Copies of this chain bind each other. A is one copy, B any other.
């Protein structure tokens, strides 16, 4: 098969740890490869460029969505997967093995390691120990870079550009890892950002300043209704009841953050609604049939972006990278 264009040059052997690794030029290349991956999947299910490659999916926390996305991405490229997605805590690890030892063990079997771990910094620790590429699939309240990349890809793919867009982030902006990473990525482009949240769930000040320092127009409000008519992207996340000490306040506010068909009547024709999923009521299922509802396409884009990353970080010729 012609593998032309199915890798981003210069990424061989690279870890995927943080969105801060990605500048606009590289992002555009990743997105081009992801679009080619989509064409190939639609045409013939996948490509065979990672035949003989093995991915170890090491999930210390279960995450059906993310692990399934990586597994499908690897398999559609002809590679195979060691799924360690359940019960890690009952096995070697419970015998007190350190994360670096677990990683150095798995790299004896696998050519790339995808790691989900509850502790901030664990992906970086793993990458330091590993001679094969490590992909961070979420390290606690730290980062989840492939989620942010698929989010950005979706915006670019759906609207054809990033510069000049007005993006509103909605919901829990204080604790939402995906919102933080996406904000950092968007700060590299000429976008207008509006943050829509209850007072107690406002975006942390350092992130707000980071966006402002990058020269972005930034605004905050409490109610989606205030911005729905003006945005190109409405990025919705959940407002969790548990975050509120005053439940009366929660009850008063929660409807401000629910997307309904009525609300969508106020929105532009060419805008999109996104959500990292799972959702629990913050977008009405009645919105699903609206062509502007992009969240399931967003899910599939995750597979295409991960295919692009896997194909790029694995060395282009046969053999393992650690043949020292």
Residues in chain A within 8 A of chain B (CB atoms): 41-46, 51-54, 56, 62-65, 68-69, 71-72, 75-76, 80, 82-84, 86-88, 90-93, 95-98, 100-102, 104-106, 108-111, 277-280, 285, 288, 296-297, 299-300, 302-303, 318-320, 323
Contact = CB atoms under 8 A, between A and B. Distances in A.
A250 to B, nearest CB: 16
Enumerate the 8 nearest inter-chain pairs by beta-carbon distance, A residue then B residue, closest first: A45-B52, A44-B318, A97-B278, A108-B300, A72-B109, A75-B80, A64-B91, A62-B91
B68 A320 contact: no
Given A45-B319, A97-B277, 20 more contacts: A41-B320, A42-B320, A44-B318, A45-B53, A45-B54, A45-B318, A63-B92, A64-B93, A65-B91, A68-B105, A68-B110, A86-B87, A92-B278, A97-B279, A104-B288, A105-B278, A105-B296, A108-B296, A108-B302, A109-B303
A323 to B, nearest CB: 5
Given A54-B76, A101-B279, A64 B44 contact: no
Contacts of A86: 86-87
B87 A62 contact: yes
Contacts of A88: 64
A263 to B, nearest CB: 20
Nearest to A323: B42
Given A46-B52, A54-B75, A277-B101, A69 B320 contact: no
B296 A69 contact: no
Nearest to A44: B318
Given A43-B319, A51-B45, A52-B46, A96 B280 contact: yes
B319 A42 contact: yes
Contact of A108 (B80, B303, B319): B303
A2 to B, nearest CB: 15
Contacts of A45: 51-54, 111, 318-320
A301 to B, nearest CB: 9
B96 A43 contact: no
A278 B101 contact: yes
A91 B69 CA distance: 14
